[in-house]
Chains A and B, each alone.
Chain A
């Protein structure tokens, strides 16, 4: 049953990755990266259970944290760039 969840999460990660590649605007990419991070958290948690060593949840915690921080960082630096560049090649 953990295997089912792992497979599903991997599929979703792939989808988010494709969106990050295609992503017509920068914001699509940010969103895809965010979603990818969430899925990584889930993946780590589930894999920890799959391998029978659920002590590894600390890592999942760090991932959630890093995910949040990096989204904020991207937004912060992005808002500084001049307005004519904000919407890229539509």
Chain B
């Protein structure tokens, strides 16, 4: 039971590492941003799994229910998602500008152009 109870965290870690891997190994900037958002999503899942209380339901109060899951992580993640998308948009805007001035979004090509200049 103990091992199974941690299974969720392991999935989170695997996802997180996948996102990390994409960020450091892929040269394409858009893919890097996607990797970042996968990393982000894994953190969201981590928080939400911590908030779960066995046998509890969603934290919308009702007289007939006595156990609820923890609402605090929900609040944090809710705002984090929206902020996450705003920052992703900012990153994408940067990518677009890079594309316009360098003509490419591959990291190594950008570096090559920088060294020429």
Contact = CB atoms under 8 A, between A and B. Distances in A.
A12 B58 CA distance: 26
Nearest to B64: A52
Interface residues of A, number: 5
Interface of B: 57-58, 60
Nearest to B58: A53
A2 interface: no
7 contacts: A51-B57, A52-B57, A53-B57, A53-B58, A53-B60, A55-B60, A56-B58
A51 B57 CA distance: 8
Nearest to B57: A53
Q: Which 7 A-B residue pairs are closest in the complex by CB-CB distance?
A: A53-B57, A51-B57, A53-B58, A55-B60, A56-B58, A52-B57, A53-B60
Contacts of A55: 60
A56 B58 CA distance: 10
Interface in A51-83: 51-53, 55-56
Contacts of B57: 51-53
